[in-house]
């Protein structure tokens, strides 16, 4: 499974890039707004740090506006992936961009049917929001599993990108059910390293070696 970091914070990306496990970055308008900078400036900085897919989201709600924004964002770097909403206009834009070989990430997916039509529109990635589904009493991980089954049934090449990951258990479960990618905040990515027995064992080794 590929690991993407979900942030617009350049310092977080700089630090996480040193760990050798980050394959890409996802951003959204909320994350960009927290930086107080323009999306173009943030994406320009990110592509210098991570050699992998970098999702940048359009703000327009109509197809023509989305395509215009997509053209501008795509000029930043070949690794930029155009993030589109799962709407009629969003999928129409997705279809046109996919025909031009421009990578897309269709976001705000909450059902198998939505994932199915995104794949038919040629989406490179589909982003089911598992945490937000869990928040309202639905089974976010079950959605990932169902999408995996449908995509495998029909040979769709769209990658499942588990989004709205809230904790390390989400990462584990997404990997078990076959998500292609997990995108997560810095704190969740860092938490994957932690286990009390690892810390206890290391402390004991250092004590036995006379280093503590």
**2-208 maps to which CATH number?**
3.20.20.70
Residues recognised as catalytic: 83
The kind and range of the H/E element at 26 are strand 24-26
At 127 the pLDDT is: 98
**Rg, Å, the chain Cα set:** 18
Strand partners, 85: 107
Number of H helices, E strands in the chain: 11, 8
Contact 32, 7 (CB under 8 A): no
Q: CA 175 to CA 210: how far, in whole Å?
A: 39
At 211 the pLDDT is: 86
- Quick one: which of 74, 71, 14, 79 has its CA closest to 53? 79
Q: DSSP code of 163? A: B
* Alpha carbon distances (Å) from 148 to 2, 85, 144, 169, 177: 15, 20, 6, 19, 8
Q: CA 102 to CA 121: how far, in whole Å?
A: 13
- Quick one: which of 132, 117, 130 has its CA closest to 175? 130
* Total number of residues shown for the chain: 212
Instruction: Enter the tokens of residue 74.
Output: 């795509």
Low-confidence spans in the chain with pLDDT less than 70: none
Strand partners, 163: 129
At 155 the pLDDT is: 98
């Amino acid at each position: 499974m590929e690991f993407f970091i979900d942030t617009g914070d350049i310092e977080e990306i700089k630090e996480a890039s040193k760990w050798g496990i980050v394959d890409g970055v996802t951003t959204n308008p909320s994350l960009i707004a927290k930086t107080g900078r323009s999306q173009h400036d943030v994406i320009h900085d990110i592509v210098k740090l991570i050699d992998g897919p970098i999702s940048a989201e359009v703000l327009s709600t109509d197809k023509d506006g989305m395509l215009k924004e997509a053209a501008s964002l795509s000029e930043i770097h070949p690794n930029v992936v155009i993030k589109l909403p799962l709407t009629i206009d969003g999928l129409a834009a997705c279809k046109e961009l996919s025909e031009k070989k421009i990578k897309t990430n269709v976001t705000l997916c909450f059902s198998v049917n939505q994932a199915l039509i995104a794949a038919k529109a040629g989406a490179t990635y589909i982003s089911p929001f598992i945490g937000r589904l869990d928040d309202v009493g639905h089974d976010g991980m079950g959605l990932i599993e169902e999408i995996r089954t449908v995509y495998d049934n029909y040979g769709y090449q769209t990658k499942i990108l588990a989004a709205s990951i809230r904790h390390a258990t989400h990462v584990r479960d997404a990997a078990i059910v076959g998500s292609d990618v997990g995108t997560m905040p810095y704190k969740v990515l860092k938490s994957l390293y932690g286990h009390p027995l690892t810390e206890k064992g290391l402390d004991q080794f250092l004590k036995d070696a006379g280093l503590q």
